[in-house]
Amino acid sequence: MTDTGKEKCAHTSLRNEVDQLHLTANHLKNLVYSMSVVLSERMEHTQEYEALLTLFDTVRNHIEDVQGSSEKISELLEPCALEVSKD
């Protein structure tokens, strides 16, 4: 395999991993939302409710950080894709 072929393969592999990361973050975000809806309906008037809201907010913030990072990596990969495709 030529260097260009290896670069294209590496770029494609990295792009696939970033896409998978973004998809997983979306699934986690949906799961956290669903869990918060179910638990808030069942625990709305309990002492644990505020603690759970804090926990869900923290998890959601981390998921959004992961999404932001994967989007930034995608942006950084775009110029590389153009360079590899020229060769």
Tens of pLDDT, residues 17-62: 888 988 998 899 898 888 888 877 877 777 787 888 888 888 889 9
Tally of domains in the chain = 1
Is 22 in contact with 71 (CB distance < 8 Å)?
Answer: yes
Question: Is residue 87 pLDDT above 60, yes or no?
Answer: no
Residue 70 belongs to domain spanning = 3-86
Residue 7's pLDDT is 76
Indicate yes or no: pTM above 0.95.
Answer: no
Long-range contacts of residues 9-13, Cβ cutoff 8 Å, at least 24 apart = 11/77, 11/80, 11/81, 11/84
**Does residue 86 contact residue 6 with C-beta atoms inside 8 Å?**
no
